[in-house]
């Protein structure tokens, strides 16, 4: 193979005679098949040259032997002359091709192929380049997603439930469930029945605590008018919370596993030791129709998981911003459900707005 140093750098090509692939750089070894080269050039193929030389020698030998035996054995001499006549031209043509025409024809073919590939395959090359950039971008996104332990994101909560079922079923210690009234959970669609069975099984399991954090009834009316945009039916969120407490009681949930957080709902969620489901509340929509995430705890090493554990699940459960009930009797329930923001003295504030800054604008 000739060295193509006389070509311009843009046009320079290098052909591997072993795997017949074209390379832009003059590699010491073929990157496709590992064919060993001599110096900075591919080693030439010697097999055909030796073959042609052997044919030429055999042709000459047949002529000499035929000449020697011609007078004694005419038929054998004719056969040897015929073989020599047949093999001689083949050997000569082969040697001429190897030493005079092979490189020139190959270079011409490569130039033709190179020019054709630049035009015919350019569109495919451009598409592959775009796809390569897209793949690189997706890889970077996956790396970022992996850092926060995100297993999946779903357009609605019901699509995420199958991914949390096994974590609920295998949980042996405790499960936290945070929501407003759990209306979308306790009145499930057929696709959510399996999840409810998992939760019911854990409620009956004395070794696993299932803890429910509901919105405090005194705060429910702050959400009421916003949900009217989506919920056209007549409803009363505080009443739904009371109905939920009744359902939990009938399901065997002890009263000490129910608490009411003094605040408007922000995220519906499940938390087990392995996984966490987070379903944000859009201001004017119910949570179960909105985006939902599943996080992996990474054996408790996921910082995002730990942050939500402290700020939204265990931290709230153990904090001062919750009310509890001492039983399911009317008196115990009324202590919570008859409270209002006024009775909690949460509507009174010593904070005043400073309007002097408006004059400074």
**Whether residue 36 is found in the same domain as residue 180:** no
**Whether residue 227 is found in the same domain as residue 110:** no
If one compares 102 and 166, the residue with the highest pLDDT of the two is 166
Chain segment 280-295, per-residue pLDDT in tens? 988 887 787 889 999 9
Indicate whether this model's pTM tops 0.85: no
pLDDT at 288: 79
**Whether residue 34 is found in the same domain as residue 120:** yes
Contact 316, 183 (CB under 8 A): no
Question: Does the structure show a pLDDT above 60 at 43?
Answer: no
**Whether residue 288 is found in the same domain as residue 218:** yes
Asked if the structure places residue 294 within a domain, the reply is yes
Contact 229, 284 (CB under 8 A): yes
Give the residue ranges of DSSP H helices in the chain.
47-69, 74-96, 102-120, 122-147, 157-170, 183-186, 193-204, 217-227, 237-250, 303-308, 314-317, 330-337, 356-360
Chain segment 50-63, per-residue pLDDT in tens? 776 777 788 777 77
Q: Pairing state of beta strands 275-280 and 267-271? A: antiparallel
Domain residue limits at 184: 150-337
Q: At what angle do helices 217-227 and 237-250 cross, to 10 degrees?
A: 120
In angstroms, how far is the first alpha carbon of the chain from the final one?
80
**Whether residue 55 is found in the same domain as residue 163:** no
**Whether residue 107 is found in the same domain as residue 222:** no
**The token pair that represents 289 in the structure block:** 């129709």
For residues 87 and 57, give the distance between their C-alpha atoms in angstroms, rounded to a whole number. 9
Contact 213, 177 (CB under 8 A): yes
**Whether residue 296 is found in the same domain as residue 181:** yes
Question: Does the structure show a pLDDT above 80 at 37?
Answer: no
Q: What is the band of 138 on the pLDDT scale with cuts at 50, 70, 90?
A: confident
Domain boundary among 125, 142, 159: 125
């Amino acid at each position: 193979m000739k060295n193509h140093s006389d070509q311009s750098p843009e046009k320079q090509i290098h052909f591997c005679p072993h795997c017949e692939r074209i390379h832009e750089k003059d590699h010491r070894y073929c990157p496709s098949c590992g064919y060993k080269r001599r110096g900075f050039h591919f080693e030439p193929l010697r097999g055909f040259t030796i073959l042609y030389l052997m044919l030429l020698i055999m042709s000459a030998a047949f002529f000499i032997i035929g000449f020697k035996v011609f007078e004694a054995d005419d038929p054998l001499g004719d056969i040897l002359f015929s073989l020599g006549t047949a093999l001689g031209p083949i050997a000569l043509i082969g040697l001429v091709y190897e030493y005079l025409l092979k490189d020139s024809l190959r270079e011409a073919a490569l130039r033709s192929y190179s020019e054709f590939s630049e035009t015919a395959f350019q569109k495919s090359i451009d598409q592959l380049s775009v796809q390569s950039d897209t793949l690189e971008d997706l890889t970077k996104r996956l790396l970022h997603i992996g850092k926060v332990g995100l297993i999946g994101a779903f357009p609605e909560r019901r699509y995420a439930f199958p991914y949390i079922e096994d974590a609920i079923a295998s949980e042996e210690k405790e499960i936290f469930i945070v929501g407003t009234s759990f209306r979308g959970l306790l009145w499930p669609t057929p696709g959510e029945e399996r999840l409810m069975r998992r939760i019911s099984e854990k409620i009956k399991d004395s070794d696993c605590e299932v803890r429910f954090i509901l919105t405090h009834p005194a705060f429910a009316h702050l959400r009421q008018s916003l949900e009217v945009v989506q919920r056209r039916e007549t409803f009363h969120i505080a009443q739904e919370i009371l109905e939920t407490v009744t359902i939990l009681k009938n399901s065997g949930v002890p009263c000490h596993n129910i608490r009411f957080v003094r605040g408007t709902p922000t995220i519906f969620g499940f938390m087990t030791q392995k996984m966490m489901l987070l379903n944000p509340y859009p201001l004017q929509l119910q949570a179960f129709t909105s985006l939902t995430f599943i996080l992996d705890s990474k054996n408790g090493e996921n910082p995002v998981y730990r942050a939500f554990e402290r700020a939204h699940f265990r931290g709230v459960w153990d904090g001062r911003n919750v009310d509890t009930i001492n039983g399911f009797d009317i008196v115990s329930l009324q202590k919570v459900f008859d409270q209002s923001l006024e009775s909690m003295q949460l509507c009174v504030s010593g904070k005043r707005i400073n309007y002097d800054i408006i004059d400074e604008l």
